[in-house]
Amino acid sequence: MSQAKVILSIVAAVVAAALFSATSGRIESSDQIACHTHDFKTELYKSACAKGGQREAKDAAKVFMKEKKIKSCNQCHSKLAPNYELKADGLEQFRKVGGK
């Protein structure tokens, strides 16, 4: 093989590896991550998680927060991603402002 073909083969292999790496990372994006909770106590999050996993639940929460004028996720959650753990009174606070 000529030197140009060898260099071209190396460049093609590097590009292929980069493309594979980039596409496999997208598969693990938050769009594809299932919700960690399986025992839902709210209809909002149950339907959002069924529809589109964590991304859909997060989007539903943002809409809910905007409607109810809640300024921070930390009002109800003690920790956010990846498990979004609720505070002891998180569910009570959610219901108090009208969540179902």
Rounded distance between C-alpha atoms, residue 35 and residue 46, angstroms: 9
Q: Which residues of the chain have pLDDT under 70?
A: 1, 6, 8, 11-13, 16, 18-31
Name the residue ranges covered by the structural domains of the chain. Answer: 31-96
Alpha carbon 80 to chain centroid distance?
11
Exposure of 90 in the CB half-sphere (CA atoms within 13 A): 16
Summarize pLDDT for 64-86 with one digit per residue, the tens: 999 999 999 999 999 998 889 99
Position 4 scores a pLDDT of 72
Percentages helix, strand, coil for the chain, rounded to the nearest 5? Answer: 60, 0, 35
Q: Reduced to 3 states, what is the DSSP secondary structure of residue 29?
A: coil
pLDDT on residue 38: 85
